[in-house]
Structure 1
Amino acid sequence: MITLDGLTKRYGEKVAVNDLTFAVRPGVVTGFLGPNGAGKSTTMRMILGLDNPSGGAVRIEGKHYSQLKDPLRRVGALLDAKAMHGGRSAFNHLLCLAQSNGIPRARVSEVLDTVGLTAVAKKKAKGFSLGMGQRLGIAGALLGDPEILMFDEPVNGLDPEGIHWIRNLMKSLAAEGRTVFVSSHLMSEMALTADHLVVIGQGRLLADTSMSDFIRQNSRSYVRLRSPQRERLLDVLHEAGVGAVEARDGALEVDGTPPERLGELAASRQVVLHELSPQQASLEEAFMRLTAESVEYHAHSDRPGGAVPAGEPPAWGEGWQRRKGA
């Protein structure tokens, strides 16, 4: 388990990480989310002892990373897939890591096979594609068969097959009771992978909760109804004290009433329904709502004045403008 207690990091007057307190527990995949500049990479670097905190503490199974004996056997991490000697072959890169941590040579071949790089084991890393470099970095994280694994943007550069593979790998590692901590900007992938979420913004903790609770707490849930007997359906809902609003496509949207209850109301008055569907925001929508005030940069839209209407994401490809006060 990884525990952070009031963890803080300052660079001059800039507070990159601000009093973070949370725990990353074994047996689940914990997703680490936040806008660019939120402090995610700095936090992960402090966990691994690569940056020193300005305040607070971070512990791995109760110890600072520097106190761990044979650290690769305790913690495996992928923070930068390019952090390797490009002149070494994939095999020799991993062999150097293994020898420095007392890991048997046979383990190198095992992890190369796990990540699908056996065929290129003797090729120099400098000739690897981004995706191959990611796989080699993941192999390095797995080398010591550690109980704790940390991945920063692990799907970067991977093809669809590779993304599917790393997703299932992280789930299987957590199912074995290991601690898996993963940071990613791909919300759709995080929604399929993570069980628990830690969300930060401008260095502060915004959420520490399960995936389902995060979406429920930060989004609107409602039920869509469509019927050829629309006016009669409205009367039935009104008589039952159920409020409904009209959607742009003519469907009705109902908040606060379970779909089972709505179906029973329609059936009791023989109202035909063409649609009865619960609706809930995606992880991306919930994330954007929670972190709206923590985004350091917003894009201009092509609308007059550059304003982005509430509820709409900023336009990409436009000029960038730093948030006020930044």
Structure 2
Amino acid sequence: MIELDGLTKRYGEKPAVDGLTCTVRPGIVTGFLGPNGAGKSTTMRMILGLDHPTAGEVRIDGRRYDQLTDPLTYVGALLDAKAMHGGRSAYNHLLCLAQSNGIPRARVGEVLETVGLMAVARQKAKGFSYGMSQRLGIAAALLGDPRILMFDEPVNGLDPEGIHWIRNLMKSLAAQGRTVFVSSHLMSEMAQTADHLVVIGQGRLLADTSMAEFVRRHARSYVRIRSPQRERLLDALHEAGITVTEAADGALEAEGGKAEQVGELAAGHGIVLHELSPRQASLEEAFMRLTAGSVEYHAQSEAAPPDRGSDRRGRTA
């Protein structure tokens, strides 16, 4: 279990993390979300003792990271896939970590096999692709068979097979009762992986809730309907107390009712339907709505190109 209590980190006057309090529990995958600059990486670094908080504290199973003996057996982390000695082979990189934490040599081969790098175990890490480096970083995180695992953008650089593999790995680790804390900007991937979400913006906690509850609260679900008997359908929906809005293409979007209810209502009034499709809210939509006011870096649309048919005085050539 990871406990954050009033965790704060300031750089000068700027708060990178601002009074963050939450608990990352075992047995589930907890997703850590936030816009760029929200303080996710800083938070993870403070959990591992790489940055010191300005205020507040972090406890790992009740203790600070610097109080842990053989820390790789408590916490395994992947924060930077390229944070390794490029001149060492994959095997020797892991062996050094194992020897420094009292981990048996045999464990090195086990984790290399797990991440699919046994065939390149004797190759120098500096020649690895980013995806291979990610796998080596995950192997290092697994090396001590820890109860707590932290991954920062673990699918970066992985091919579809690798993404599917890491998704299932994180789920299986959580199913074993471990604490799994993962940060990612890929909403579609997080939607398939995380059970619980911690969302921050500008260093502050915005949400700490289950995936299902987060989407329900912050995104919109509706039933899309098209009918040649549009006015009759509108009257029937209004009578049933179902809120309806009009889409840009003329279709109707019904809120407050399920597709089955709308279909039965139309059938009862003898109304023909050309489309009846439930549209589920997405994690991406929910995330964008919640964090809209917390985005620090806004890209601007590209300026329109100058009119080549006009001279500098604005006259048409």
- Global fold match (TM > 0.5): yes
Q: What is the alpha-carbon distance in structure 2 between the residues aligned to residue 279 and residue 86 of structure 1?
A: 48
Could you tell me how far 1:300 is from its partner in structure 2?
1.1
Alignment of 1:244-259 (within 5 A): 244-259=244-259
Alignment of 1:161-180 (within 5 A): 161-180=161-180
Gaps in structure 2 of 5+ consecutive residues: 305-317
The residue that corresponds to 1:124 in the other structure is 124
Could you tell me how far 1:58 is from its partner in structure 2?
0.6
Q: What is the alpha-carbon distance in structure 2 between the residues aligned to residue 9 and residue 151 of structure 1?
A: 20
Give the letter aligned to residue 30 of structure 1.
T
Could you tell me how far 1:301 is from its partner in structure 2?
1.6
Give the letter aligned to residue 182 of structure 1.
V
Q: What is the alpha-carbon distance in structure 2 between the residues aligned to residue 141 and residue 56 of structure 1?
A: 26
Q: Return 132-141 or 279-288, whichever deviates more.
A: 279-288
Could you tell me how far 1:270 is from its partner in structure 2?
2.2
Question: Does 1:220 pair with 2:223?
Answer: no
The residue that corresponds to 1:311 in the other structure is none
Q: What is the alpha-carbon distance in structure 1 between the residues aligned to residue 99 and residue 302 of structure 2?
A: 57
Give the letter aligned to residue 220 of structure 2.
R
Contact 2:243 2:256 in 1 (8 A): no
Could you tell me how far 1:84 is from its partner in structure 2?
0.7
The residue that corresponds to 2:313 in the other structure is none
The residue that corresponds to 2:54 in the other structure is 54
% identical equivalent positions: 80
Give the letter aligned to residue 281 of structure 1.
A
Q: What is the alpha-carbon distance in structure 1 between the residues aligned to residue 243 and residue 163 of structure 2?
A: 43
Deviations 1:286-315 (A, max 9, x none): 1111111111111112478xxxxxxxxxxx
The residue that corresponds to 1:200 in the other structure is 200
Q: What is the alpha-carbon distance in structure 1 between the residues aligned to residue 238 and residue 109 of structure 2?
A: 68
The residue that corresponds to 2:67 in the other structure is 67
Q: CA RMSD in A?
A: 1.3
Deviations 1:77-125 (A, max 9, x none): 0011111111110000000000111111110000000000000000000
TM-score, normalising length: structure 2 = 0.93
Q: What is the alpha-carbon distance in structure 2 between the residues aligned to residue 84 and residue 259 of structure 1?
A: 53
Could you tell me how far 1:283 is from its partner in structure 2?
1.1
The residue that corresponds to 2:43 in the other structure is 43
Deviations 1:262-286 (A, max 9, x none): 2221121122223222223321121
The residue that corresponds to 2:86 in the other structure is 86
Count the aligned residue pairs.
304
The residue that corresponds to 2:281 in the other structure is 281
The residue that corresponds to 1:307 in the other structure is none
Q: 1:241 to 1:79 in 2, by over 3 A?
A: closer
The residue that corresponds to 1:322 in the other structure is none
The residue that corresponds to 1:8 in the other structure is 8
The residue that corresponds to 1:24 in the other structure is 24
TM-score, normalising length: structure 1 = 0.90
SS in 2 for 1:43: helix
Could you tell me how far 1:199 is from its partner in structure 2?
0.5
Give the letter aligned to residue 18 of structure 1.
D
Give the letter aligned to residue 27 of structure 1.
G
Give the letter aligned to residue 203 of structure 1.
G
Q: What is the alpha-carbon distance in structure 2 between the residues aligned to residue 176 and residue 47 of structure 1?
A: 22
The residue that corresponds to 2:315 in the other structure is none
Structure 1 ranges of 4+ moved more than 4 A? none
Could you tell me how far 1:167 is from its partner in structure 2?
0.6
Contact 2:188 2:283 in 1 (8 A): yes
Question: Does 1:34 pair with 2:34?
Answer: yes
Deviations 1:237-263 (A, max 9, x none): 233343422212221111222333222
The residue that corresponds to 2:182 in the other structure is 182
Q: What is the alpha-carbon distance in structure 2 between the residues aligned to residue 242 and residue 98 of structure 1?
A: 62
Deviations 1:29-66 (A, max 9, x none): 00001111110001000001111111111100000011
Instruction: Indicate the structure (1 or 2) with the bigger Cα radius of gyration.
Output: 2
Gaps in structure 1 of 5+ consecutive residues: 305-326
Could you tell me how far 1:141 is from its partner in structure 2?
0.1
Could you tell me how far 1:143 is from its partner in structure 2?
0.3
